[in-house]
């Protein structure tokens, strides 16, 4: 089968197609014939050598796929050869076939084609698990950084479905308009003083929850933007990994700063998150309450171009590889 390999840590030019043995479904696993792969910023980091896979996981890039069941291992029930499916992976997705623990495989939402479905499971699992982690509730306010990325476009809509007031940041007039179309109550240009804009929009109260993909660059401003008893959850490090934190300000707000990662979680935790996505998120997608993000598709042979497009910062929504 064909896979994408990284010849050396570095730029997109180091991505190349090569051959590998076909996977075999072990106990509790299924093998999926891949139709499409979601491309995520974690993939860019892994290509650059900054985000290695967990121990025992394939070093092939790729955290989410859609396709059909190719084979079923022992102790697996509920899946038959040929069933359409989408899967959350710890790695291995840039390939024609991939083996996955069956608990991390779910049916796609009704009415969503498999290519578009490839870009759903990672963002849905990330957003649901993190909003659960910080207990975002009805009537609360949430600030979502990067509102037009894959995470952001989903998080805006899911937060609205939970009954929250949504503030978000983006970098251009067109992107701010997209945020509003997705349901954001307040859309802020991050080139401006976004923390001051949050203060104004909340009448100096701050926001209850912040979902942050930037990391160190925004740490102090995020804490300043929190309301009393506010919760900041960091899920990305686009703005660096080391920052400074005013503990006095955090204490005064009784604030919480937490950080999570989906990839390295134990399989049973990921299975629980995937089941929650199918139970709680798919009905919202099927009802049109959550719309699919804009997407840009590239054939697998153009994987380097797909990475360049995501890195450019010009994209909105999801980047998807097709096979």
At how many degrees (to 10) do helices 150-161 and 173-181 cross? 30
Distance CA 99, CA 72 (A): 10
pLDDT in tens, the chain (323 residues): 999 999 999 999 999 999 999 999 999 999 999 999 999 999 999 999 999 999 999 999 999 999 999 999 999 999 999 999 999 999 999 999 999 999 999 999 999 999 999 999 999 999 999 999 999 999 999 999 999 999 999 999 999 999 999 999 999 999 999 999 999 999 999 999 999 999 999 999 999 999 999 988 999 999 999 999 999 999 998 888 888 889 999 999 999 999 999 999 999 999 999 999 999 999 999 999 999 989 999 999 999 999 999 999 878 889 999 99
Q: Concatenated DSSP letters for 272-296?
A: HHHHHIIIIIHHHHHTTSSPPPPEE
Q: What sign for the dihedral angle of Cα 214, 219, 221, 222?
A: positive
Please tell me the CATH code under which domain 126-259 is placed: 3.40.50.720
Q: Which residue has the tokens 């306010």?
A: 141
Q: Which residue has the tokens 């990305």?
A: 236
Domain ranges within the chain, ordered by starting residue: 2-120+263-322, 126-259
Give the pTM. Answer: 0.95
**Of the CATH numbers 3.30.1310.10, 3.10.580.10, 3.20.20.70, 3.90.180.10, which one belongs to the domain with range 2-120+263-322?**
3.90.180.10
């Amino acid at each position: 089968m064909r896979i994408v390999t990284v010849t050396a840590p570095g730029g997109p030019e180091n991505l190349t197609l090569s051959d590998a043995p076909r996977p075999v479904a072990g106990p509790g696993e299924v093998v999926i014939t891949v139709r499409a792969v979601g491309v995520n910023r974690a993939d860019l980091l892994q290509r650059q050598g900054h985000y290695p896979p967990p121990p025992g996981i394939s070093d092939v890039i790729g955290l989410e796929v859609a396709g059909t069941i190719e084979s079923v291992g022992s102790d697996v029930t509920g899946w038959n050869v040929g069933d359409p499916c989408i899967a959350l992976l710890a790695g291995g997705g840039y390939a024609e076939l991939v083996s996955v623990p069956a608990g991390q495989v779910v049916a796609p939402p009704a009415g969503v084609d498999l290519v578009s479905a490839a870009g759903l499971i990672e963002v849905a699992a990330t957003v649901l698990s993190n909003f659960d982690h910080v207990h975002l509730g009805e009537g609360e306010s949430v600030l979502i950084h990067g509102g037009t990325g894959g995470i952001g476009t989903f998080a805006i809509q899911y937060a609205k479905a939970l009954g929250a007031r949504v503030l978000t940041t983006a970098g251009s007039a067109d992107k701010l308009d997209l945020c509003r179309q997705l349901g954001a109550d307040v859309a802020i240009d991050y080139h401006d003083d976004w923390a001051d804009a949050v203060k104004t929009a909340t009448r100096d109260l701050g926001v209850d929850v912040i979902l942050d993909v930037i990391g160190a660059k925004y740490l102090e401003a995020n804490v300043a933007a929190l309301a009393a008893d506010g919760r900041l959850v960091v899920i990305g490090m686009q703005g660096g990994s080391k920052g400074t934190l005013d503990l006095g300000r955090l204490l005064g707000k009784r604030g919480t700063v937490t950080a999570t990662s989906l990839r390295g979680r134990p399989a049973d935790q990921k299975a629980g998150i995937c089941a929650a996505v199918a139970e709680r998120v798919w009905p919202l997608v099927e009802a049109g309450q959550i719309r699919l993000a804009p997407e840009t598709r590239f054939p697998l042979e153009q994987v380097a171009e797909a990475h360049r497009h995501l890195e450019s910062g010009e994209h909105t929504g999801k980047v998807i590889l097709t096979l």
